[in-house]
Structure 1
């Protein structure tokens, strides 16, 4: 029986006694010599070395010592029957060393492969020259030398596709995509690559530059560099509050870069020097909007430069410029015929310069005129602005025969020298007036306001704060019956001590489009609040014949009633209860749904309209919590706040009237219940939104 450990044996045709001794003796003239004639040559040094290496690799003990371990991914597995020899390939190993992979040589029918068993004698191949030509080079496919490819992750493939798509789209679309980024984001994106840098600083993206939103977050030098890069493309520049532009060199660099401005705002840049400002005005002669509020560098010479270099100016704000007077306004009006909006608060010199008022009358292009805090503005100056230097009047009606003014907004707040004589000049000459502010004119009475209300049908904002001589007759007989009653949106009668329910009830009945009413420090009571709630409810029904309960409520009327002694907690509770009631149509006496037709500005379905209330500070927290729940749609939670607040206020009133420890305890319990309910709905501990308070349970008997 053959030995199973022997994997290869010598063929019988070559078996001889010499093979047992470990050598192969080839005789001349034999078949082997005839088949391989090169075997007759004598071996030389190289062949002798190769034979020695072959014998070493055939030995089990030596191969285990000198050979390195086989890789796990090798194509041959190590086993007891494997063969190994030195590769005779002329090409070096990919690792720089001769390959030691297993192989065997076959010469026709002759096998020269030695066995892997140590007891079996190795077959010695005789040396001869030219063995490289006879033996074919064995190619060893090592796994490391094979080129390997690994697929990219899905995320990277998606990014690569997006990037390729970005390269293929036109530059116009790229600019449009980048236009949605803010200036701060554009600067960050510009650092990606040179291509992104070119795109991010394209002129189409820098037509507007508003540094007021981020100037605190970047150094002054960086801000200056950005403006230097984007300056030639900027049309709208806003540096409001940028105190960083304080050094003259930075401001000069900025001015040198920006020479295509159409609108600029330097409000609050107090360190802006006068020469630099003048250079900016001279190099931007296409300016349309200019805001120089509070700049000490502005004087009458600056106004001369504006009138000479900026003929297309439409809006100018020089409020708070203390180094100039009314003469500068005259220069601007004469040199800028397109000026529509002039804001000159706290500018002096109107009383001593009558030519300024005559110029304002002669131009008649102003649609907005802000002259608040001009303490030297007198009645004669205002008359000249409205009626002209030598006005003519109708003999029958005593009305001025003056062309109507184009004014839409006029602000005369805190012009303390004005009285009825000057304010009356606004009547019958300002038919387009929409906003009028006469706050703190303590000398003005009803007689000056009556003709104004009768001749201004487009009035939407009326501010009559701190007019102590105002009476209920003006509101009842004139404002509620005026042509502007249906268009009025904002009314302020704060500080008018004589105004009460008699004046405000007709106003809420007639002025159904009111959005904001300020009534603090007046003598109104709970009746006014109830009428305001009815007005809002009827307005919501008139805006839509089929109100949608699925929409969340919205605040459409803001009431301010600070320091009104006649308003009690029951009036506040009335507002809260109206806000939390479900939105339903008002049934008539016959049981038919009645929807009041009005001039509502809402189209389609709308949700419930509620009232935003500002009241006494001790009630404000409860009102805010109730309003928050209503706006969220939690009407049940709002009802709980109403009930517990009513219980607390009733207990407190009883304690004030009768006193006693039982009533004081009831007040504490109701207050704790109210705070507990507000705490459960919110998220803050120890106040509105905190967790439940721990209370000790009293005796059952007591």
Structure 2
């Protein structure tokens, strides 16, 4: 520092401001003068040095500030490590107490370096060791950092303690609150409608989420229609609004009084319906028309049994629903074929028409419209007035060209896959024969209770439908076993799954044995009130056993209905039960523990060897069960035992099922022997002896399969003798 500081402006630490004069003769000042220039700079630097945030800065020492060998400020440290803050006034005695120009008492002056008292002119602040750096350090934010670690160099030691801010408390994560609304909706989709309605009472937020329209895209009230109030049901429909695509209100009669008040509002909200089912509802005609007119995207309409559905509703459907594919108007008394004709002509995508008990199917114009459209895959016209002429027009059209070689009409084949003609009393062989060679894709045919049909028409249809899988021939009194024999020989035998011949009293084992042998995919056979006997049951058991065994639990593979069959006895029922719990002998032996024989070394005295039998360490294989079993519906007095036996087999407890089978057989034999005296008792005993001879006849020891050739879990194999059965 080139300029010096005058002595007059530096007050003595011992002078009293109250005294008029001092020992030096100078006039004391009332207040320190205002500093200017370099003095003001030094005062500001001193104030900065009192702040605890100032750290060391790597600067060189300041130049000496000396005049007449007075105090030098080059050794003043501006660090705050060991220095208490000074007063706001720059003339505080803590800094300038040792800078008096003259000592308070007379005496020789003492150099600064040799002064040992506390009144030294310059006092070093914050220097504990002689080698301590006397430089001003840089602030912490201006210091160079390491390029790798991102921390200051080791040489930059802070002279003050860092005061870190208080650590913030850890944030509590609210998974449900922070979750997006889309995930909330997706979680609620796993709940049932009843559970969603109950959750709506949790909070206001949950109430809004539970009535979000995205949850009610599919509103099916068939499971809870009798438990939900009308107000809540309307709330669900209106909440879904434009989101509702599938609306099933089947049986919701509680809306009877709501349609007149809220029907128009519901129709305004639901404008994007694709599937609509109002079967069993009580709805007025105006509300029905609103629904149909304001939902042009409808593809499925089920209004079965509604009195409010008339031909005017069919006209609205033909005008407003061009994408219609399925229409169910069965038992709608106010609809006839004149209204359906408009739907068929306008809805080009119609695939399924269900019109049971609809009048007017004898109209040839309507049949011609169906023939020209030729888009129907399912046509249900049961209990209608269809005649042979209208059925021929439906299949062949009007005045078709005839092939001279085959004498058959040359027309495009029909696309029917399911055709229901049951209880059409006016159908005869002449009309049913029109199906032959014209329905190659037919999979289901129902001609039950068509009393005029005989074997000829049915055989012609069966021979020309290779994809036939469901055949209903119930209550055809004129049908004989020839139909079943031809069915077993036809191409559809490999695809046949369901057969119903109930109340066909002329059918018996002759035809059913052929069906059981040649129809491997058979899943359901209804033959109650027929002449079938135990032989059919034994053949069915044998065919089901051939479907294999596995480690999975058994499942029902064939359902037989044989109640009210006079030729079916308890012995045939027992054969089915034994077959369900049967395991082949080879598989049963594989589950036995395997033993091994090890021979010890020869004894030196006796020269004999000792053999030890030890169990093998090979683990036994997992249990084996039948792949499929037979579910039987028989005489009501035996049905409880049959159901319990089936339950045990389905849960894999074959031993318990076999015990039940044996005990039931013992009980039935004892009951037969303990019958009343007389001719009836003799007949029962004779039947029991015949059944015992029939089912317990010894055969070869090989385990080949055959009719009735099984017994429950290890019993002797039994084979029935065909041709001489006189049971019952």
Q: TM-score range by the shorter chain?
A: 0.5 to 0.7
Q: 2:648 aligns with which of 605, 629, 653?
A: 629
Note if contact 2:625-2:652 (Cα within 8 Å) is conserved in structure 1.
no
Does residue 432 (structure 1) correspond to residue 441 (structure 2)? The answer is yes
Helix, strand or coil for the counterpart of 2:479? coil
Once the two structures are superposed, residues 509-539 of structure 1 have per-residue CA deviations (whole angstroms, 9 ceiling, x without a partner) of 0001101000111111111111101110112
> Partner residue of 2:630?
611
Note if contact 2:401-2:410 (Cα within 8 Å) is conserved in structure 1.
yes
Does residue 299 (structure 1) correspond to residue 318 (structure 2)? The answer is no
Change (3 A) 1:290 1:585: farther
Q: 2:669 aligns with which of 650, 654, 661?
A: 650
How far, CA to CA, are the matches of 2:533 and 2:376 in structure 1? 41
Helix, strand or coil for the counterpart of 1:264? strand
> Partner residue of 1:381?
390
How far, CA to CA, are the matches of 1:558 and 1:445 in structure 2? 27
Q: 1:413 aligns with which of 408, 422, 435?
A: 422
Once the two structures are superposed, residues 11-46 of structure 1 have per-residue CA deviations (whole angstroms, 9 ceiling, x without a partner) of xxxxxxxxxxxxxxxxxxxxxxxxxxxxxxxxxxxx
Does residue 322 (structure 1) correspond to residue 330 (structure 2)? The answer is no
1:258 is displaced (CA, Å) by: 1.4
How far, CA to CA, are the matches of 1:350 and 1:632 in structure 2? 50
Note if contact 1:190-1:197 (Cα within 8 Å) is conserved in structure 2.
yes
Note if contact 1:410-1:435 (Cα within 8 Å) is conserved in structure 2.
yes
> Partner residue of 2:268?
256
Does residue 448 (structure 1) correspond to residue 445 (structure 2)? The answer is no
Helix, strand or coil for the counterpart of 1:522? coil
How far, CA to CA, are the matches of 1:403 and 1:233 in structure 2? 42
Structure 2 residues without counterparts, runs of 5 or longer: 1-169, 589-623, 686-728
How far, CA to CA, are the matches of 1:219 and 1:575 in structure 2? 49
Once the two structures are superposed, residues 127-170 of structure 1 have per-residue CA deviations (whole angstroms, 9 ceiling, x without a partner) of xxxxxxxxxxxxxxxxxxxxxxxxxxxxxx99x75xx1122233
Q: Which has the higher helix share?
A: 1
> Partner residue of 1:491?
499
1:227 is displaced (CA, Å) by: 1.7
> Partner residue of 2:355?
344
How far, CA to CA, are the matches of 1:201 and 1:383 in structure 2? 54
Task: Give the paired residue count.
Answer: 476
CA RMSD of aligned residues (A): 2.4
1:173 is displaced (CA, Å) by: 2.3
How far, CA to CA, are the matches of 2:208 and 2:673 in structure 1? 76
1:402 is displaced (CA, Å) by: 1.1
Note if contact 2:213-2:239 (Cα within 8 Å) is conserved in structure 1.
no
Q: 1:213 aligns with which of 223, 232, 244?
A: 223
Helix, strand or coil for the counterpart of 1:285? coil
1:561 is displaced (CA, Å) by: 0.4
Does residue 480 (structure 1) correspond to residue 488 (structure 2)? The answer is yes
> Partner residue of 1:458?
467
Give the TM-score normalised by the residue count of structure 2: 0.63
How far, CA to CA, are the matches of 1:511 and 1:413 in structure 2? 24
Structure 1 outlier segments of 4+, above 4 Å: 583-587, 657-660
Does residue 266 (structure 1) correspond to residue 278 (structure 2)? The answer is yes
How far, CA to CA, are the matches of 2:337 and 2:584 in structure 1? 56
How far, CA to CA, are the matches of 1:215 and 1:657 in structure 2? 54
Note if contact 1:224-1:253 (Cα within 8 Å) is conserved in structure 2.
no
1:611 is displaced (CA, Å) by: 0.7
How far, CA to CA, are the matches of 1:400 and 1:502 in structure 2? 36
Does residue 556 (structure 1) correspond to residue 566 (structure 2)? The answer is no
Does residue 281 (structure 1) correspond to residue 292 (structure 2)? The answer is yes
> Partner residue of 2:580?
579
Once the two structures are superposed, residues 188-227 of structure 1 have per-residue CA deviations (whole angstroms, 9 ceiling, x without a partner) of 3333334333433333222111122223223212222222
How far, CA to CA, are the matches of 2:649 and 2:280 in structure 1? 41
1:586 is displaced (CA, Å) by: 9.6
Once the two structures are superposed, residues 235-261 of structure 1 have per-residue CA deviations (whole angstroms, 9 ceiling, x without a partner) of 111100000111211333322321211
Does residue 396 (structure 1) correspond to residue 397 (structure 2)? The answer is no
How far, CA to CA, are the matches of 1:211 and 1:568 in structure 2? 45
Helix, strand or coil for the counterpart of 1:621? helix
> Partner residue of 1:225?
235
Does residue 365 (structure 1) correspond to residue 375 (structure 2)? The answer is yes
> Partner residue of 2:601?
none
How far, CA to CA, are the matches of 1:377 and 1:279 in structure 2? 33
Structure 1 residues without counterparts, runs of 5 or longer: 1-156, 542-546, 588-604, 667-702
Change (3 A) 1:622 1:192: closer
Does residue 533 (structure 1) correspond to residue 541 (structure 2)? The answer is yes
Note if contact 2:244-2:272 (Cα within 8 Å) is conserved in structure 1.
yes
Once the two structures are superposed, residues 297-339 of structure 1 have per-residue CA deviations (whole angstroms, 9 ceiling, x without a partner) of 1111110010000000001000010011111111110111100
Note if contact 2:580-2:626 (Cα within 8 Å) is conserved in structure 1.
no
Note if contact 1:508-1:532 (Cα within 8 Å) is conserved in structure 2.
yes
Larger radius of gyration: 2
Write out aligned runs for 1:18-37 (5 A). Answer: none
Q: 2:525 aligns with which of 511, 517, 535?
A: 517
Once the two structures are superposed, residues 57-88 of structure 1 have per-residue CA deviations (whole angstroms, 9 ceiling, x without a partner) of xxxxxxxxxxxxxxxxxxxxxxxxxxxxxxxx
How far, CA to CA, are the matches of 1:253 and 1:558 in structure 2? 49
How far, CA to CA, are the matches of 1:491 and 1:564 in structure 2? 17
Note if contact 2:578-2:658 (Cα within 8 Å) is conserved in structure 1.
yes
Helix, strand or coil for the counterpart of 2:675? helix
Once the two structures are superposed, residues 420-440 of structure 1 have per-residue CA deviations (whole angstroms, 9 ceiling, x without a partner) of 011111111100111111110
Q: 2:190 aligns with which of 177, 180, 197?
A: 180
Note if contact 2:225-2:250 (Cα within 8 Å) is conserved in structure 1.
no
How far, CA to CA, are the matches of 2:651 and 2:519 in structure 1? 28
Change (3 A) 1:451 1:633: same
How far, CA to CA, are the matches of 1:656 and 1:216 in structure 2? 51
How far, CA to CA, are the matches of 1:554 and 1:606 in structure 2? 10
Change (3 A) 1:200 1:222: closer
Change (3 A) 1:585 1:396: farther
Helix, strand or coil for the counterpart of 2:474? coil
Note if contact 2:212-2:239 (Cα within 8 Å) is conserved in structure 1.
no
How far, CA to CA, are the matches of 2:526 and 2:416 in structure 1? 25
How far, CA to CA, are the matches of 2:525 and 2:237 in structure 1? 44
Give the TM-score normalised by the residue count of structure 1: 0.65
1:230 is displaced (CA, Å) by: 1.9
1:296 is displaced (CA, Å) by: 0.4
How far, CA to CA, are the matches of 1:206 and 1:629 in structure 2? 41
Helix, strand or coil for the counterpart of 2:450? coil
Q: 2:509 aligns with which of 478, 493, 501?
A: 501
Note if contact 2:300-2:326 (Cα within 8 Å) is conserved in structure 1.
yes
How far, CA to CA, are the matches of 1:295 and 1:583 in structure 2? 57
How far, CA to CA, are the matches of 1:290 and 1:585 in structure 2? 57
Note if contact 1:400-1:428 (Cα within 8 Å) is conserved in structure 2.
no
Q: 2:301 aligns with which of 285, 290, 302?
A: 290
Helix, strand or coil for the counterpart of 1:217? coil
How far, CA to CA, are the matches of 1:204 and 1:583 in structure 2? 55
